[in-house]
Amino acid sequence: MARNKFQNEMETLNLDLVYMGALVERAIEDSAKALILQDKELCNKVIASDKEINVLRAEIESKALKIILMQQPVASDLRMISTALKMITDMERIGDQARDICEIVLHLCEEEYQLKLEILSQMGEYAKQMVYGCINSFVKQDIEAAKKVIKTDDAMDELFAKLKRKMVKLIKEKQAYADQAIYFLMVGKYFEKIGDHAENIAEWVIFSKTGEHKDIKII
């Protein structure tokens, strides 16, 4: 095999991406769980893991740029590296939003839930599925799995709209619920944003296979 060094660098980059994906998956899973269980310890774990995710993002970015500089990749290698550079931005944002959710949950841990978690826990479930799905589609380079993630985002958006309507109604009806309703709405918005980032990642996975992004030919 020619270009062993390059091959090794590409494999390392791929492994780093998979590892970062696993950390992000864990962060979103834990934040959804912490919300339901009002688990302060788990919240602090997620908040701490965000730092690791940020460091990893910088490391992967550095490795990807060095490969471009030193190895001048073309064809599928070039698409893979540009996908990596795009993906890490979305993964880092997912990490940030998992942390943001946990910071709100820390407030929510101080009181009992007066509102039903029904929609939020469903949104958390979708967020987990979408993040898992997009990372999995990258690992397996599976376009169909990526498309499924993109489709799930519509359901996520619908849930958020439903949550918003419900929280507005609650605030109007009972002022005492206002604080918690706003916190719920914010958590819901973060889940919805996580869905958007998972969708972005899925779209970049499709690009890495086809050179097309949202049906537009990029390269």
Question: Which residues of this chain interact with other proteins, rule CB under 8 A?
Answer: 1-3, 6-7, 72-79, 211, 219
Q: Is the CB of 74 or the CB of 216 nearer to other proteins?
A: 74
Angle at 103 between CA 173 and CA 130, to 5 degrees: 85
Residue 4 or 144 having the CB closest to other proteins? 4
The smaller minimum CB distance to other proteins, of residues 54 and 71, is found at 71
> Nearest approach, Cβ of 68 to other proteins (angstroms)?
13
Q: How far is the CB of 85 from other proteins (least distance, A)?
A: 16
Residues 52/23, Cβ–Cβ less than 8 Å: yes
Tokens representing residue 110 in the block: 């101080």
Nearest CB to other proteins, comparing residues 75 and 173: 75
Q: Strand, coil or helix: what is 79?
A: helix
Joined tokens for residue 74: 């073309």
CB of 74 to other proteins, least distance (A): 5
**Is residue 181 within 8 Å of 111, Cβ to Cβ?**
no
Q: Is 173 exposed, middle or buried (0-12, 13-18, 19+ CB in 10 A)?
A: exposed
